[in-house]
Amino acid sequence: MPHLVILYTPNLETQTDMSILCRTLADTMLAQRDEAGKQVFPTGGTRVLAYPAAHYAVADGHADYAFVYLNLRMAAGRSGAVKTTVGDALLASAKEHFDPLFPKRLLGVTLQIDEAPGQVYDGKHNNLHPLFNP
């Protein structure tokens, strides 16, 4: 954790590079600091994944509308101020990425942040964390 999942309409694929967006958003997440100056998200646990929707309907369907949904899922324990700062930073990065498209097409971008307060199970197995936590 944290995982940022991007779901988007595939009509955007010829107009923007989603891999660049993923890297930009991961870097934005890694740059976040809490009130004490500590990194908010662990480097080894940060993931950003993007998927085109195989099937979709946006608005009334009378135009070639596009949509991007970003959902950040993170463990509980961060302050409200940190969550707001993270959300503002991620949305700003996404807006900057898509700014060249807004004059050319109709596009909606939504970012939601969810916490996992009452996790029933959170299994993990990886060898990434030791790379960043000597």
All structural domains of the chain:
3-118 (3.30.429.10)
Q: For the segment 66-85, what is each residue's pLDDT rounded down to a tens digit? A: 999 999 999 888 999 999 99
Q: For the segment 73-129, what is each residue's pLDDT rounded down to a tens digit? A: 998 889 999 999 999 999 999 999 999 999 999 999 999 999 886 666 666 667 677
Q: How far is CA 22 from CA 25, 42, 80, 110, 119, in A?
A: 5, 16, 24, 15, 26
Going through the chain in order, the beta strands assigned E by DSSP cover: 3-8, 47-52, 66-75, 107-116
Q: How many CA atoms lie within 13 A of 117 on its CB side?
A: 3
Q: Residue 46: CB partners within 8 Å, gap ≥ 6?
A: 2, 26, 29, 30
Q: For the segment 19-66, what is each residue's pLDDT rounded down to a tens digit? A: 999 999 999 999 999 999 999 999 999 999 999 999 999 999 999 999
Looking at the chain, list the stretches that DSSP marks H as alpha helix, in order from N- to C-terminal side: 18-31, 80-98, 129-132
Give the CA diameter of the chain: 55
Q: How many CB atoms lie within 10 A of CB 113?
A: 17
